[in-house]
Amino acid sequence: MTDGPRNPHAGAPFTDGDAAIAAALDDVSVPALLCSLVHMTGDPSWIRGEARPRVATATDFQSAMPKEWLADVRARALPAIAAYRDGGCEPKALSRELVWEMMEFVAAAPVNEERGTMMLHDLALDGGDPDAITWGDDINETAKQAAHTVVIGAGESGLLAAIRLAQAGVPFTMVEKLDGPGGTWRHNRYPGARVDVGSHHYCYSFEPAEHWSEYFCRQPELLDYFTRILDKHELRPHCRFNTEVTAAVWDDEAARWRVHLRDADGNDDVIDARFVISAVGALSLPRLPDIPGIDTFAGPAFHSTKWPADLDIRGKRVALVGAGATGFQIAPTIVDDVERLMIFQRTAQWMFPNPVYHAPVPEGDRWAMRHLPFYGRWFRFLMIWPGIGIGVESYRRDPAFDDSDGQAINPMSARRREALTQWITMQLDGRPDLVEKSVPPYPPMAKRILQDNGSWLGALKKPNVDFVRTPIERIDATGIVTSAGEHYDADILCFATGFRHVEYLAPIDFTGRDGVSLREQWGDEPTAHLGITMPNFPNLFCLYGPGTNLAHGASIIFHSECQMRLAMDAIHEVLQHDATSIEVRSDVHDDYAARYVGEIGQMVWAHASVEHSHYKNRNGKIFTLSPWPIETYWAWTRTVDPQEYVIR
Ligand code: NAP
């Protein structure tokens, strides 16, 4: 027996009988189970046999292993698990080399040093939270208490910031314009809202993940998760809900931010902060289309973020304008309740087949996550790895590849196009009219790829659906008129038309050193060093800032953890040196921005064949997405390099 508290990832000891265990094994991911068996037995032969993952994909938890292998492993696992149970549920210590071999086993490929180091950190098999703040005595307590910090926003990144500040003992206030935590998951309550990054990956690395009821959870469960995080970490006393930050002004002499607030009743207040952490998200400002007559519609008309809680759609004619990530979720959810659904999609969207998109996590898999040692961590690895392992190179335009027809940007992109087109045509068999409307005229991945378990394409085929690709000319009191002169009568209009992505930190006015306005400094081309810090704006850190949205690789929470680690290290740097401010050097920022622009322009997202994209600014340039390999960004955000900043 080991002393001290049990490693939280080791699973709770259990006494379940063999029959119950055998039943649970039917539901588990066998690659994750094999890794857990190594932990249970200390015997590496579990991962050295014939039964091994053939390919890592985030939507097949058996990694394409044939059925006979799965059955064989399950049969051999039962006595080993029973022996582990009977022996008191004590996992064996494993060497780093063996864990590395296990990573390569699940990845079904070699894992290079940079990625492996990052993934070991994320696995955190020792049960700790490697990014938890554990500052030593080098920080003067008075300086720390004078470092009151304002966190703007209580979504995933704001909560993370609050957790880290609380660990550091830095006083802080979290200001949130909504009436509670959860950010996007409080804001977006439209029918069918769910995460499209795997739940066991779309969560904090240091929090348990065995509770998820679906592999891609729905909005109420996500909202509940973030609310529980707030309470578990006792953050509520630090919160000011229903309060908006309207402006923040840097006082250089005092080295403090004056943060201007307005509550829901219109009362103004100003609070002082040494540091400000912007956690406002990047997809929160609704974008309504500029369609003539939009205000003349007689019935309910609203942006998807404003879906009325009491809206009765039964038997109604609903016009859905926009079919990106949001529209893709709304349409299949409401199609069977409405009399008629008219979907107006301006540009076709690529989607990949995801058979587990709406799947519940079966009881056996949840049992395994609760009890089998490190099973949950390996399951998380299995979900994260496919995005990270593929890297960003497949998103890069190959200069030797002819992409002038907008079909593909490199050989892999061409293969992707073929496979994705095949899925669309198969699902729409017998409906060439729908196939023609559904195959995009731009390379795969150039807009955010969506996913479908058949429900989106299935909805298009329903007799009560009009799938309209003719441009909208205007809206009148009774419906929508297209440029072909057709009139679509509607009772309800929903605009799933997305967000003003490029307007970072809007509508807050930030005024930095020497009265510089952040809005003016950025214009249409927002940049920040590592997406986090800007010259002229000391002590201001962005989470999910310019150039950090991920259309490849990992979850946004993973990225927030990187950004918050750097922000906390910067704060530590200031306090440790008895200083009061830290500001990125202009030349460092400019060099990073130039490298960013050079890199992003080569990527598929910048392809000229994409006419409309929330990634692009009005001139077609991108300042929203990260072009960097995840492991590179992770390494860059490990610690602050003091040479890159002015610390006063
Ligand atoms: P979006 O991807 O920007 O899609 C907006 C839709 O509205 C597109 O079909 C767009 O057409 C259309 N549209 C916009 N302006 C229009 C106009 N003037 N006339 C006609 N059509 C117009 O927005 P979204 O679906 O809300 O998603 C935005 C982002 O939020 C996603 O990329 C994702 O990052 C996030 N999101 C995530 C989830 C999830 O994880 N489950 C769910 C929803 C959203 P064009 O394509 O031609 O521009």
Report the nearest-CA residue for atom 48 of ligand 1: 612
CA distances to 72, 364, 394, 408 from 27, rounded to whole Å, are 14, 5, 33, 38
What order of strands is seen across the sheet that includes strand 492-495?
Answer: 301-303, 492-495, 317-321, 340-344, 465-468
CA distances to 38, 337, 348, 469, 602 from 327, rounded to whole Å, are 44, 16, 12, 14, 29
How many other CB atoms sit within 10 Å of the CB of residue 363?
11
Place of tokens 């946004």: 556
Nearest C-alpha neighbor of 100 from the set 111, 84, 114, 85? 111
Helix (H, G, I), strand (E, B), or coil: what is residue 266?
Answer: coil
Instruction: Give dist(CA 145, CA 141) in Å, integer.
Output: 6
Spell out the SS3 assignment of 532-590: CECCCCCCEEECCCCCCECCCCCCHHHHHHHHHHHHHHHHHHHHHCCCCCEEECHHHHH
Nearest C-alpha neighbor of 421 from the set 407, 434, 404, 439? 439
Cα angle value 508/510/516 (rounded, 5°): 145
CA distances to 24, 289, 338, 339 from 331, rounded to whole Å, are 35, 19, 10, 13
CB 392 within 8 A of CB 627: yes
Find out whether the beta carbon of 473 lies less than 6 Å from any atom of ligand 1. no
Rounded to a whole number of angstroms, the distance between the first and last alpha carbons of the chain is: 51
What per-residue confidence (pLDDT) applies to 4?
Answer: 82
What per-residue confidence (pLDDT) applies to 2?
Answer: 52
Helix (H) or strand (E) holding 228, with range, is helix 219-232
Identity at 615, one-letter amino acid code:
Y
Strands 149-152 and 275-278: parallel
CA of 495 to the centre of ligand 1 (A): 9
Find out whether the beta carbon of 118 lies less than 6 Å from any atom of ligand 1. no
CA distances to 87, 306, 421, 520 from 444, rounded to whole Å, are 51, 31, 10, 35
What per-residue confidence (pLDDT) applies to 1?
Answer: 46
The phi, psi pair for 615, rounded to 5°, reads -75, -25
Find out whether the beta carbon of 196 lies less than 6 Å from any atom of ligand 1. yes
Instruction: Give dist(CA 335, CA 465) in Å, integer.
Output: 8
Place of tokens 């490190």: 374
**Helix pair angle (96-107, 375-390), 10° resolution:** 60
Task: Work out which ligand 1 atom sits closest to the CA atom of 613.
Answer: 48
At 583-601, the pLDDT tens digits run 999 999 999 999 999 999 9
CA of 617 to the centre of ligand 1 (A): 15
At 412-471, the pLDDT tens digits run 999 999 999 999 999 999 999 999 999 999 999 999 999 999 999 999 999 999 999 999
Residues facing 541 on adjacent strands: 277
Helix (H, G, I), strand (E, B), or coil: what is residue 433?
Answer: helix
The phi, psi pair for 528, rounded to 5°, reads -150, 150
CB 331 within 8 A of CB 456: yes
Report the nearest-CA residue for atom 10 of ligand 1: 322
Find out whether the beta carbon of 479 lies less than 6 Å from any atom of ligand 1. no
Find out whether the beta carbon of 529 lies less than 6 Å from any atom of ligand 1. no
CA distances to 222, 225, 350, 424, 429 from 455, rounded to whole Å, are 22, 26, 15, 12, 14
CA of 498 to the centre of ligand 1 (A): 4
Find out whether the beta carbon of 413 lies less than 6 Å from any atom of ligand 1. no
Instruction: Give dist(CA 578, CA 144) in Å, integer.
Output: 10
At 215-233, the pLDDT tens digits run 999 999 999 999 999 999 9
Contacts of 69 (CB under 8 A, 6+ apart): 30, 50, 51
What per-residue confidence (pLDDT) applies to 401?
Answer: 98
Instruction: Give dist(CA 624, CA 544) in Å, integer.
Output: 9
CB 531 within 8 A of CB 541: no
CA distances to 373, 503, 589 from 584, rounded to whole Å, are 44, 21, 7
Strands 540-542 and 340-344: unpaired
The phi, psi pair for 452, rounded to 5°, reads -145, 135
Nearest C-alpha neighbor of 302 from the set 337, 274, 326, 278? 326
How many other CB atoms sit within 10 Å of the CB of residue 523?
8
Report the nearest-CA residue for atom 14 of ligand 1: 497
CA of 588 to the centre of ligand 1 (A): 34
What sign for the dihedral angle of Cα 518, 519, 524, 526? positive
Report the nearest-CA residue for atom 27 of ligand 1: 325
Instruction: Give dist(CA 188, CA 307) in Å, integer.
Output: 8
Instruction: Give dist(CA 60, CA 34) in Å, integer.
Output: 16
CB 418 within 8 A of CB 433: no
CA of 540 to the centre of ligand 1 (A): 30
CB 99 within 8 A of CB 123: yes
Report the nearest-CA residue for atom 18 of ligand 1: 289
Residue ranges of the chain whose pLDDT lies below 50: 1
Q: Which two tokens stand for residue 401?
A: 């590849």
**DSSP codes of every residue in 77-124:** HHHHHHHHHHTTS-PPP--HHHHHHHHHHHHTS---HHHHHHHHHHH-
Report the nearest-CA residue for atom 38 of ligand 1: 325
Place of tokens 């249409």: 524
What per-residue confidence (pLDDT) applies to 85?
Answer: 98
The pLDDT mean for the chain works out to 97
CB 368 within 8 A of CB 39: no
